[in-house]
Amino acid sequence: MTEIERHPLEPFLPPNARLLMLGSFPPPHRRWCFDFFYPNFSNQMWQVFGLVFYGDAMRLVDSEHKTFRLEDIKALLSERGIAIYDTARAVRRLSGNASDKDLEIVEKTDIPLLLSKIPLCHDIVCTGQKSFSVLTEDYGVPVPMMGEYNEFIINTRNLRLWRMPSTSRAYPMPLDQKAHHYRNMMQQTGILESENEKLKQRKAHPDASRHPSKEGKAAAGQFSPPLEGCPQGGVG
């Protein structure tokens, strides 16, 4: 029988988290480029986050070393109140790869326990069928349409379950379209300001837009090199 593999990471749970992102399970360690969630260099999650929060797909990518900027990612997640973990604590890999369809869940994550540690959280994001299967089987919440949510309850807490596209390169959707779905979700959950809210703030504080800070000028002048040498295919 295939060996049971236990989750190698602890949940990332900022105390101010309002959003919990749940994947399925990390890929085999040989595919990792850093010790955090979505560690496969071919996975587009951190490029999506770069586009959503900075307008720059390469903002969180270290192309020279073919890895991601771990401290910048953790700082962003902590500042914005985004928690991350997976729906499985232990699995068997039926084919030895990272594909969700070849994962057998041996032990599910205790979702109510996770939520008890982030009391401000009322939104959960799943990015794949395997992660959705745990929520739908255990809590009876239907799978939403892409980019949408369905409401459900865990231990009297009202929650929204969002469906976002997989950030695997194997998922047939352009990067900018994936980022579009994530951006809309982040705006609707209040994690990210909408363009209308930004416009209202500019009208309320016109001097701020006329006199950008030194930090803002420096950030605007940063250049990120193109992603090179990125392996094609794969998930995680």
* Domain CATH code at residue 156: 3.40.470.10
Q: Give the model confidence (pLDDT) of 174-217 as tens digits.
A: 999 999 999 999 999 999 986 555 545 555 656 654 544 443 43
Q: How many CB atoms lie within 10 A of CB 120?
A: 12
Does 118 reside within a domain? yes
pLDDT at 167 over 90: yes
- Among 134-143, 168-177, 223-232, the minimum mean pLDDT is found in 223-232
pTM: 0.81
- Residue 15 pLDDT grade (very low, low, confident, very high; cuts 50, 70, 90): very high
Q: Give the model confidence (pLDDT) of 64-107 as tens digits.
A: 999 999 999 999 999 999 999 999 999 988 876 556 667 889 99
Does 225 reside within a domain? no
Does 231 reside within a domain? no
Question: Distance of CA 233 to CAs 23, 174, 175, 206, Å?
Answer: 18, 14, 14, 46
Q: In what order do the strands lie in the sheet with 103-108?
A: 4-6, 88-93, 103-108
Does 142 reside within a domain? yes
Give the integer Cα–Cα distance in Å for 144 and 136.
10
Looking at the structure of the chain, the number of domains it has is 1
Give the integer Cα–Cα distance in Å for 131 and 128.
5
Does 234 reside within a domain? no
Q: Which domain holds residue 58?
A: 4-220
Does 30 reside within a domain? yes
